[in-house]
Chain A
Amino acid sequence: MEAGIADMTMQTASGLAGTQLADADFSEVVATHRPQIFRFLLASTRDVDMAETLTQECFLKAHRNWSGFRGDSSVLTWLMRIAINLQKDHWRNRRLQFWRTTRTNAVDVDEAGDWLPSGERSPEQQLLARERVGDVWRALEKLSGRQKSIFLLRYVEEMDIAEIAQATGLSDGTVKAHLSRALGRVREQLGGRA
């Protein structure tokens, strides 16, 4: 009897220790990947408030399912997959709740293109860079949600094709096709300026 109780205590203690370990792991995951998830969602929505809200939802969902994460893909790929699905759900719900469309805080493409890293550039170079960044944003506006996500994962987050395929649940070939179409659009948009 005493041995049984001791066993149970040991199991509870190891369970608690496991939970604490998992929580510690997850805190590290949040600290490491939160800026990246926020950046992807910000680039997808151009809305700081929405990106912040969706990032919180993403990590909440990830925390609830953390014990089920088997490590088939990298943690970042898994988080990106959650973020993409959340974003898709969000837009689907928003389309249904048509009156909420007036509450979007997304900045326009010109304003988004104003952000440039500080560096030693001449005013002309800065203007040119701003115009080119604005062109890329304008090209992104013409892409479907999926193409946009794939483009951002590749050229902003620098994920490789296999990782993007895992994050989006598509095959490598489909990802390449979407990427090629997206690049075509960007090239077309830049063509007028080149």
Chain B
Amino acid sequence: MRDESNKAEKATQGFAELDDPNLRGALGEFKASVHAWSDAAYSAARTAPARPAIAWRRTLAWALSLVLASGALSGAVYERHHQQALAQQQHQRELQLEHQQQMAAQQQRASEAEDLMARIDSDVAREVPTAMEPLAQMMTGDGGVQ
């Protein structure tokens, strides 16, 4: 116990300007803590160099970067392929629609032509008005006049 208090006294002997015992104690403990950590780290650094740890972390960082880069690249390729497929489908749909529209327009034109022909036929086939009946009776079957 006496040894412990001697240590604490020794740790704070340079802090004479500090009048707050709480602060003095905290700084003494802080100093002792830093010294303990440094002593342990220094002897560990002497016996085993930190290089393998750095090399291991570096390898891991490289591997992760590689995975991320390849992921990003394959994502981009997939996205591009998907966009192309979508664009192709859209183009085909547009072509089909255009074809259907052309067919519909063609049918409409055909039906209009038939209607017109029917109208003309009906006009041509219309009966002769009653006022013209005497003249019509004078006509022979081959278009001549009796």
- The residues of A with any CB-CB pair to B shorter than 8 Å are 35, 38-39, 42-43, 48-49, 51-52, 103, 105, 112-113, 115-121, 129, 132-133, 135-137, 152, 155-156, 158, 183, 186-187, 190, 194
Contacts and interface: CB of A to CB of B under 8 A. Distances in A.
Contacts of B50: 48-49, 52
Contacts of B54: 49
A107 B89 CA distance: 56
B20 to A, nearest CB: 7
A117 B57 contact: no
Contacts of B74: none
A126 to B, nearest CB: 10
Interface stretch (B40-48, B101-109, B118-126): B40-48
A112 B37 contact: yes
Contact of B29 (A112, A120, A129, A152): A129
B31 A155 contact: yes
A187 B27 CA distance: 10
Interface of B: 1, 3-4, 7, 14-15, 18, 20, 22-23, 25-27, 29-42, 44-45, 50, 53-54, 57, 61
Contacts of A155: 14-15, 27, 30-31
Given A115-B33, A121-B4, A48 B45 contact: yes
Nearest to B15: A155
Contacts of A132: 25-26, 29-30
* Interface SS of chain A: helix
Contacts of A121: 4
Given A35-B38, A48-B45, A49-B50, A120 B1 contact: yes
Quick one: which of B23, B35, B37 has the most chain A CB within 10 A?
A: B37
B45 A186 contact: no
A160 to B, nearest CB: 9
A129 B4 CA distance: 13
A96 B83 CA distance: 39
A150 to B, nearest CB: 14
Contacts of B14: 155, 158
Given A38-B42, A49-B53, A156-B30, A116 B23 contact: no
4 smallest beta-carbon distances between A and B, as pairs = A115-B37, A39-B38, A158-B14, A136-B30
Contacts of A183: 18, 23
A105 B29 CA distance: 24
Contact of A116 (B1, B15, B36): B36
A115 B15 CA distance: 21
Given A48-B41, A120-B1, A136 B27 contact: yes
Contacts of A194: 22
